Amino acid sequence: MITSKLIANGIIRAIVIIIASALSIYFLYQIQSVLIYLMVALILTLIGNPFLDFFKKRLKFSHNLATITTIVIFVAIIFGIVILFVPLITSQSQNLSLLNTKEIEQNAIELINQINAFLESHHINAKKLLNFNNITSKINFGIIPNFLNSILGTISSFGMGLASVLFITFFFLKDRVLFIVGAKKLIPDSHEEQILNSLEKINHLLSRYFIGLLLQLFIVFLLYLIVLLIFGIPNAIIIAFLCAVLNIIPYIGPLIASVLAAILSMISHLGSDFQTEILPTTIYVLIGFWIVQLIDNNLSQPIIFSKSVSSHPLEIFLVILIAGFLFGILGMVIAVPLYTILKVIGKEFFPDNKIIQLLTKDI
């Protein structure tokens, strides 16, 4: 029989749960920077594990020396990137931030007028095709310096957290055995073997995945750089780097990279004749980028990803596509790691399921 006391207790319990949930969400929001540091440190740990094992097994380093050497490699790579790219970004942002917004607008209008003249010379009515005046009136050109300044602010804030990330990564690598021992105490005995096997396989597959991702981005960066250097685009290194980083977003990223490369190519040749220099150079750069993306999509990416996570290229494509439709760009970025984790868990806990057997036969 439901009494007023029982109802009151139920209401109080519900209120307590809601308040506790709200406080938990608020707490997680307040420490979001720490959570990001932990996530980045975890990814670095997964990347560093193969190096750690290599130093211990092949070079016979002690565990502590292997851990320190791995961290030194990370520091050297990060320091190299900072030395190479930050001065370029800083100089370019300072130049653009010092420009009068009117001057940026005039350069953009000049480029649009050249496109308009080119279309008119080929008997294409540009005014009907595109309303250039309406476009330029709606663009806030002052956003360009502000955007660059926000990028620099992000880089600065990341630099402040870099020491924290490396510190956490060091202990993740150094004390991973202690973490496993501690986890054993928290894991129910009935599922201990399954959970530990899952963690070991996930660690192995995701380590190979993130190393494969870095290798793929490095290959794309080199190919983009070659294309930009061939056609004499200024600041080729920084443009190639930014476009390569965009490749982290599957399928959409390369399209954005092509648009970015085309815009920067046109701007870099501003003042030259549109028909004889700006347009051909931009077309050649786009063709070069499309060839790079063709190579990446059909050779390097399927081979590296399918080998690293033991999945068929078509399987990876469908997973990324579905995740993109459901969760947008973020879903596409995390689709492969999350799918790999789910496959490993499925194989350990539901080994007799025929669908799981089919999907996990190579794991």
pLDDT in tens, 262-279: 888 877 776 666 667 777
The pLDDT, as a whole number, for residue 186 is: 74
The pLDDT, as a whole number, for residue 291 is: 92
Q: In Å, how far from its chain's centre is CA 223?
A: 19
Mean pLDDT, all residues of the chain: 78
Q: What tens digit of pLDDT does each residue of 134-159 get?
A: 554 555 545 545 555 555 555 555 56
- Give dist(CA 232, CA 326) in Å, integer: 41
SS (H, E, C) the chain: CCCHHHHHHHHHHHHHHHHHHHHHHHHHHHCHHHHHHHHHHHHHHHHHHHHHHHHHHCCCCCHHHHHHHHHHHHHHHHHHHHHHHHHHHHHHHHHHHHCCHHHHHHHHHHHHHHHHHHHHHCCCCHHHHCCHHHHHHHCCCCHHHHHHHHHHHHHHHHHHHHHHHHHHHHHHHHCHHHHHHHHHHHCCHHHHHHHHHHHHHHHHHHHHHHHHHHHHHHHHHHHHHHHHHHCCCCCHHHHHHHHHHHCCCCCHHHHHHHHHHHHHHHHHCECECHHHHHHHHHHHHHHHHHHHHHHHHHHHHHHHHHHHHCCCHHHHHHHHHHHHHHHHHHHHHHHHHHHHHHHHHHHHHCCCCHHHHHHCCCC
Four-residue CA torsion sign, 326, 332, 337, 343: positive
- What is the signed CA dihedral for 190, 193, 194, 198, rounded to 10 degrees? 150
Burial class of residue 304 in the structure, from the number of CB atoms within 10 Å of its CB (0-12 exposed, 13-18 middle, 19+ buried): buried
Q: How far is CA 247 from CA 5, 55, 221, 234, in A?
A: 60, 31, 10, 21
pTM over 0.75: no
The pLDDT, as a whole number, for residue 308 is: 76
- Give dist(CA 144, CA 102) in Å, integer: 12
Answer for the pair 67, 173: CB distance below 8 angstroms, yes or no: yes
Answer for the pair 108, 141: CB distance below 8 angstroms, yes or no: yes
- What is the signed CA dihedral for 252, 258, 263, 265, rounded to 10 degrees? 160
- Give dist(CA 198, CA 345) in Å, integer: 6
- Give dist(CA 207, CA 201) in Å, integer: 10
As a residue count, the chain comes to 363
Where in the chain are the domains?
Answer: 187-363
pLDDT-flagged residues of the chain (< 70): 1-3, 84-112, 115-116, 118-120, 122-160, 270-275, 302
Q: What tokens does 350 get?
A: 């539901």
The pLDDT, as a whole number, for residue 205 is: 84
The pLDDT, as a whole number, for residue 96 is: 46
The pLDDT, as a whole number, for residue 227 is: 92
- Give dist(CA 233, CA 235) in Å, integer: 7
Answer for the pair 55, 69: CB distance below 8 angstroms, yes or no: yes
The pLDDT, as a whole number, for residue 65 is: 92
The pLDDT, as a whole number, for residue 335 is: 85
The pLDDT, as a whole number, for residue 151 is: 52
